[in-house]
Each structure stands twice: as C-alpha cells, then as structure tokens.
Amino acid sequence: MEKYSKYDIIMKRPASIFCNRWRDGTPVGNGKTGVVFYGGAGRDYMIFSRGDLWVNGNDAPVPDVSYALDIMRKLQKEGKYPEANFVMYNELKKHGYANKLADMRTLGRVEMLFECNGVYSNYRRVIHTDTSEAEVTYKLGKDRHKRRVLASRKRDIIAISIESEKENGFSLNSGFYKSFEGGRENELEESDSQFAQYRVDSGCYIYSSKHE
C-alpha cells in the first residue's frame, strides 16, 4: 500500500480516459525543462519541452499595481465580487500592459508501449509537488508496474524510471513534433529532417533540434 503526503496530488484514472489527449496529462518541470505524460496502462506518452523554445510571445514587464489590492478587498467586503474581479485587469490595462502567451514548442514526444493483456487495477497517477516527481502505478494480474519521472533543477534533466515485475513487459518508440499551436499536434514530415535529427549511439538515444 503506497503512502502519500499532503503534498501529493492523486488521480485514480489514466489521462486517456478523458479523451482530451495531452491536456489531461500529468506535468512535471524544473522551471525551464518540463514534461507532460499522458495515456493509459498499455500505452503512455511523454511530451518534452523547454521554455526558451517557445515563440511569438510577449513577456512584457509587469507594472506596479499593488495599490489595486486595497480596492479589490474593499469591493469584496461590500459583496461586489464581479466588480472586484476586474479591478486588477483594468489597472494593468491603464498602464499599457499587454502580455501575450507564447506558442508551445516541444523537444519531442516519446511513446511507451506496455503489455496490457487483461484488465488493470489499482491505478494511480500521483504528482509529488514537494519533490517535482510524478509516478504511475497499477497492477496487471499479480504483476505490479511503476513509472516515475523526476525533473532535476540542479542538473536540468528529466529522468525516467520504469519498473515492471513482468520480464520484458515494455518496449519504447518515439515520434517528434514541431509544436502544439492551437492544441494540435503538428507532426514532423520527411521534409523537416533539417529541423530535428535523432539516432542511437552506444546505448543512448540522442535527439537534437534546431530552433528558428
């Protein structure tokens, strides 16, 4: 029986069960490099990304509108919640603040295939917010399966651990994507070979991409 703490976010269903692909995935990151994993017991996906690859955004400096907090609190005490909700927005607008979210660029997507003959049970997806770790655990018959993901701030890496009580219980495949603009996966085509390259060398999977 797993023991969880107050810092854990626990989900009892796979992300794929909601049919909304990566939007229901489990995020892990260190402030610069991040990963979202989603899928189910038999097939899981991991999308890797870095903040400095995102484009078309406008990260404008935020003006000091801290004085607006007193106005918001006053309106809330008066029960004027709709008015209070727009105070900060209106003040930022008066100062010409116009931020724009950047378009997401990914380093790639890794697909993991696991043997899943039968019905799984005891499924858990957990985010450990105090350690920047996430994990998936479940059982197939008597065999326990576990996947863990760690985002290291010190080393700026994403580490993945796969455990299975069943011998040769998984395989690994990969596919790479340019972006997720508009929530759509834009898959690389053969003509995009100059954008991304990948190879296997000395037991390591090496991936490189060019950011324009």
Supply the pLDDT for residue 183: 45
**Do 92 and 14 fall into the same domain?**
no
Supply the pLDDT for residue 181: 45
Report the 3 state secondary structure along the chain.
CCCCCCCEEEECCCHHHHCCHHHHCEEEECCCEEEEEEECCCEEEEEEEEHHHCECCECCCCCCCCCHHHHHHHHHHCCCHHHHHCHHHHHHHHCCCCCECCECEEEEEEEEEECCCCCEEEEEEEEECCCCEEEEEEEECCEEEEEEEEEECCCCEEEEEEEECCCCCEEEEEECEEECHHHCCEECCHHHCCCEEEEEECCEEEEEECCC
**Do 36 and 110 fall into the same domain?**
yes
When pLDDT is cut at 50, 70 and 90, the band that residue 179 belongs to is: very low
**Do 42 and 25 fall into the same domain?**
yes
Supply the pLDDT for residue 76: 94
pLDDT in tens, 74-125: 999 999 999 999 999 999 999 988 877 777 667 777 777 777 777 888 999 9
Residue 185 lies in a domain: no
Count of beta carbons in the 10 Å neighbourhood of residue 70: 10
pLDDT at 200 over 80: no
Supply the pLDDT for residue 71: 94
**For the chain, what is the domain count?**
2
pLDDT at 182 over 50: no
Print the domain residue range for 20: 1-55+103-140+149-162
**Do 47 and 121 fall into the same domain?**
yes
Q: What is the mean pLDDT of residues 186-205?
A: 57
Supply the pLDDT for residue 194: 53
Q: Which of 3-12, 129-138, 157-166, 195-204 has the lowest mean pLDDT?
A: 195-204
Supply the pLDDT for residue 118: 75
pTM: 0.63
**Do 42 and 131 fall into the same domain?**
yes
Q: Of 24-33, 97-106, 169-178, 179-188, give the range with the top mean pLDDT.
A: 24-33
Q: What is the mean pLDDT of residues 145-156?
A: 88
